[in-house]
Amino acid sequence: MQEPQFQDRYEGGRVLADHLRRHAGQPGPLVLALPRGGVPVAAEVARELGVPLDVFLVRKLGTPGHEELAMGAIASGGVRVLNREVVDELNIGREQLEATTRRESQELQRREQRYREGRPPPDVRGRTVILVDDGLATGTTMRAAVAALRIQGPAAIIVAVPVAPEETCESLGQVADEVVCVRTPEPFYSVGLWYRDFAQTEDDEVRALLAQAAREQQAPDAPQPSA
């Protein structure tokens, strides 16, 4: 059995940043984290590269009666992506679809407000967006995030994670412009196995990291990216 690859999410973020160094100090890139576990990783990436940090929330739209089956997803910015095959095959009506969307939208908005604390969501149009999580297993949530983000018109979408199965990285390469997976151990088992400390990231930690990043971006003497 292989040893864990990273001490914690922060170390994973620093290692990941080394693989994204060509974006350091560029005017266009934006790092978006998938909460909650992706935020500590993304915070280190954004700090090392000297680019803005924000979150991109995704909520699965579970099929009524079979919540584990996704009939779509909603994401930051009011974007909804539907899995038409599931919707049509299960004959899901408009009322069911809208009711589920409203319920999940309320939860997404609650988290948006809690995490951003009044800060507006970023405009991604024409920008290179680096989507970061602490790792991937099946990649389902990340795939939904890419699809939802694509509608908002970014110039390019880069999926970046410290660890994931090789087949998942290859699959995401079909929807993202670039995929950066630092470690692709085999056998994989689970994301948490490759971190020595994989304690749950709490809302307060997410809020603190986002607030700190916002302050650093506004400061006139903001630190420059590492060489």
Q: Consecutive sets of 10 residues in the chain, 227 residues long: mean pLDDT of each?
A: 87 97 84 96 95 91 82 83 87 92 90 85 92 92 89 94 96 96 94 96 94 80 49
- Residue 207 maps to a domain: yes
CA-atom Rg of the chain in angstroms:
17
- Residue 14 maps to a domain: yes
**178 and 81, same domain (yes or no):** no
**54 and 76, same domain (yes or no):** no
Query: What pLDDT, on the 0 to 100 scale, is given for residue 1?
Result: 55
Q: Rounded to an integer, what is the distance from CA 182 to the centroid of its chain?
A: 16
Q: Is the dihedral of CA 119, 125, 127, 133 positive or negative?
A: positive
Among 115, 145, 161, the domain-final residue is 115
Pairing of strands 30-33, 128-132: parallel
**198 and 87, same domain (yes or no):** no
- Residue 137 maps to a domain: yes
**14 and 31, same domain (yes or no):** yes
Q: Which domain holds residue 79?
A: 59-115
pTM: 0.86
Tell me the pLDDT tens digit for each residue of 86-107.
899 889 999 999 999 999 999 8
**130 and 100, same domain (yes or no):** no
- Residue 2 maps to a domain: no
